[in-house]
């Protein structure tokens, strides 16, 4: 009887074992299918079609490569090409002859300032000049009289009419009059230069008039970059009025980290680019390198001189600066024409010709551009035949032109991995279930047998009583 109860349990255990084994086999089959289907990037093109397309191949070129590094920097004006126009004296701005942003040349008048000090100095100078001119005239008159007396005394002495002492006195007076005249001329010259000397002490190119008006002139050619005053405004001595900058030459300034400072040398050429001039680059010469490292940023300042005749580069513009390493002992690297590159799934790739009709799409890494050539860092061998013309047409010929991504590689790795539920474990579970089912069936059979014996024992007296009644 218990064998009938055991059959369902044995069937269930067997079904579980078969299910686990089937799932393992299905996982292996799916893995093999995934591996067999990995044909991404291959394309076959007949030879005559290649000629019709104009498809050409070549091996990578082995060219000299130099280490380069691109850093951020900015454009700055050269201090020697910058000048400030300051108020020489206290006064009031009468006229502005140039405005901010205006281009000016050296010697152009810029500002007229009314200064009380110059007015007072001009008055004193005029008075002194007048006094010294009078002194010169008086000295000339005394000299003329002294000459007349000397000539007379000389004649009388020759005639022995006058004494020797009178002749000597006349001669002495003549020499004194000559000296007085020279002194008067010197004083007159000093009085004339009094105003000029005071203006020269101010250290600027200025010109003053007797009414106290001082005109300030442009110290260098350039553009007025800053204006601090307006007409009628009062100013104090040394106050900044205008700032002029000459941008025919500018500096490209960069802060280079310690590990990259070996790429920068005095006199070395660098390449400068700025967002304000897209598609255009400027060649600069490194002119100065700071002697010390900034203790906070751990960088070293590098300044390169750029010729800027058109004024395209403005001070404070952001720029990218490419430091190119020394070319004395350059290393060799693989370079390809830029036309050989295609983009697939957001990555750079090239087509490699495997045989006469088969091409394979291969991902590569590029690092720099040199004369329309790109440097290949990884993914290419020196003897690979790379498609350099019509690469994008070849890309269109394949229906699987995308480069396997990192997610695809992870998925492939998962597919290659063994399933988490191996076959031997399923068989073991099935065997355990069979044993459990057997033991449970046997115990159930014994229980049913005991129940049957008890039922027979209970049924026997009842039958006897019935037979007794019938008797």
211 φ/ψ angles, rounded to the nearest 5 degrees: -85, 10
* 19 has a pLDDT exceeding 90: no
* 24 has a pLDDT exceeding 80: no
- Contact (CB, 8 A) for 255 and 294: yes
Confidence of residue 263 (pLDDT cuts 50, 70, 90): confident
Q: What is the mean pLDDT of residues 155-180?
A: 87
Distances (CA, A) of 200 to 28, 91, 222, 362: 99, 18, 24, 76
**Helical axes 2-36 vs 406-416, angle rounded to 10°:** 140
* 25 has a pLDDT exceeding 70: no
pLDDT score, position 191: 78
Two structure tokens written together for 175:
């020499």
* 420 has a pLDDT exceeding 90: no
Supply the mean pLDDT for the chain: 78
* 471 has a pLDDT exceeding 80: no
pLDDT score, position 123: 77
Q: What is the mean pLDDT of residues 393-404?
A: 64
CA–CA separation, 433 vs 13, rounded Å?
6
* 306 has a pLDDT exceeding 90: yes
* 36 has a pLDDT exceeding 60: no
- Contact (CB, 8 A) for 257 and 305: no
CA–CA separation, 125 vs 352, rounded Å?
92
CA–CA separation, 362 vs 385, rounded Å?
12
pLDDT score, position 197: 75
Q: What is the mean pLDDT of residues 259-279?
A: 88
Rg of the chain over Cα atoms, rounded to whole angstroms, equals 54
User: CA 179, 183, 189 angle in degrees (round to 5)?
Assistant: 145
* 251 has a pLDDT exceeding 90: yes
Tokens 């060649």 belong to residue: 283
pLDDT score, position 441: 62
Decide: pTM greater than 0.75: no
Confidence of residue 208 (pLDDT cuts 50, 70, 90): confident
65 φ/ψ angles, rounded to the nearest 5 degrees: -125, 135
Which of 310-319, 361-370, 386-395, 424-433 holds the top average pLDDT? 310-319
Confidence of residue 11 (pLDDT cuts 50, 70, 90): low
SS (H, E, C) 223-235: EEEEECCCCCCEE
* 18 has a pLDDT exceeding 70: no
- Contact (CB, 8 A) for 245 and 312: no
* 229 has a pLDDT exceeding 90: yes
316: which DSSP letter? T
pLDDT score, position 344: 81
* Short-list 41, 60, 58, 75, CA closest to 312: 75
Higher pLDDT residue, 23 or 122?
122
Q: Using one digit for the tens of pLDDT, what is the confidence trace for 316-371?
A: 999 999 887 655 556 678 888 888 888 888 788 999 999 988 898 999 988 776 66
Length of the chain: 471
* 279 has a pLDDT exceeding 70: yes
* 413 has a pLDDT exceeding 60: no
Confidence of residue 223 (pLDDT cuts 50, 70, 90): very high
Q: What residues form DSSP beta bridges with 215?
A: 112, 207
Q: What is the mean pLDDT of residues 128-139?
A: 86
pLDDT score, position 445: 59
Q: What is the mean pLDDT of residues 426-433?
A: 67
* 132 has a pLDDT exceeding 90: no
pLDDT score, position 198: 73
Q: Using one digit for the tens of pLDDT, what is the confidence trace for 433-444?
A: 667 666 666 665
Judging by DSSP bridges, how do beta strands 240-245 and 61-65 pair with one another? unpaired
Confidence of residue 170 (pLDDT cuts 50, 70, 90): confident
Q: What is the mean pLDDT of residues 110-124?
A: 86
Confidence of residue 462 (pLDDT cuts 50, 70, 90): very low
pLDDT score, position 346: 79
Q: What is the mean pLDDT of residues 174-191?
A: 86
Q: Is 465 exposed, middle or buried (0-12, 13-18, 19+ CB in 10 A)?
A: exposed
Beta-carbon-side half-sphere exposure of residue 180 (alpha carbons within 13 Å): 18
With a pLDDT cut of 70, the percent of the chain lying above it is 71
pLDDT score, position 81: 95
Q: Using one digit for the tens of pLDDT, what is the confidence trace for 377-386?
A: 888 888 899 9
Q: What is the mean pLDDT of residues 305-314?
A: 93
Which run of H or of E encompasses 45? none
**Computed from CA positions of residues 369, 371, 374, 377, in that sequence, does the dihedral angle turn out positive or negative?**
negative
């Amino acid at each position: 009887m218990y064998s009938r109860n055991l059959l369902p349990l044995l069937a269930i255990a067997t079904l579980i074992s078969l299910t686990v084994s089937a799932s393992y086999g299905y996982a292996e089959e799916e893995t093999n299918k995934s591996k067999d289907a990995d044909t991404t990037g291959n394309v076959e093109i007949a030879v005559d079609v290649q000629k019709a397309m104009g498809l050409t191949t070549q091996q990578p070129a082995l060219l000299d490569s130099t280490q380069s590094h691109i850093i951020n920097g900015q454009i700055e004006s050269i201090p020697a090409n910058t000048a400030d126009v300051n108020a020489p004296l206290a006064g009031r701005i009468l006229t502005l002859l140039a405005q901010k942003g205006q281009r000016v040349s050296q010697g152009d008048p810029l500002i007229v300032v009314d200064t009380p000090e110059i007015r007072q100095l001009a008055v004193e100078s005029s008075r002194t000049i007048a006094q010294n001119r009078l002194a010169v005239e008086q000295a000339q008159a005394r000299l003329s009289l002294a000459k007349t007396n000397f000539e007379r005394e000389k004649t009388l002495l020759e005639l022995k009419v006058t004494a020797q002492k009178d002749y000597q006195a006349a001669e002495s007076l003549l020499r004194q009059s000559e000296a007085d005249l020279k002194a008067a001329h010197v004083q007159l010259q000093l009085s004339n230069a009094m105003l000029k000397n005071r203006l020269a002490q101010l250290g600027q190119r200025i010109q003053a008039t007797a009414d106290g008006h001082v005109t300030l002139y442009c110290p260098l050619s350039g553009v007025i970059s800053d204006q601090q005053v307006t007409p009628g405004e009062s100013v104090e001595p040394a106050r900044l009025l205008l700032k002029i900058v000459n941008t025919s030459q500018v500096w490209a300034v960069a802060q280079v980290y310690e590990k990259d400072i070996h790429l920068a040398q005095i006199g070395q050429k660098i390449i400068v680019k700025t967002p304000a001039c897209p598609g255009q680059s400027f060649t600069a010469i490194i002119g100065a390198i700071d002697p010390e490292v900034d203790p906070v940023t751990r960088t070293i300042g590098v300044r390169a001189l750029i010729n800027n005749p058109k004024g395209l580069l403005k001070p404070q513009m952001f720029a990218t600066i490419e430091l190119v390493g020394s070319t004395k002992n350059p290393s060799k690297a693989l370079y390809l024409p830029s036309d050989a590159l295609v983009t697939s799934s957001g990555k750079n790739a090239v087509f490699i010709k495997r045989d006469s009709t088969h091409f394979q799409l291969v991902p590569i890494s590029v690092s720099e551009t040199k004369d329309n050539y790109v440097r290949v860092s990884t993914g290419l061998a020196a003897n690979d035949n790379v498609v350099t013309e019509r690469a994008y047409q070849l890309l269109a010929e394949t229906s699987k032109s995308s480069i396997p991504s990192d997610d695809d590689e992870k998925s492939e790795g998962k597919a290659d991995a063994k399933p988490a539920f191996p076959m031997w474990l399923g068989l073991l579970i099935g065997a355990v279930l069979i044993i459990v089912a057997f033991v449970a069936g046997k115990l159930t059979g014994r229980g049913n047998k005991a129940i049957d014996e008890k039922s027979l024992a209970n049924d026997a007296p009842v039958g006897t009583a019935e037979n007794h009644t019938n008797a």
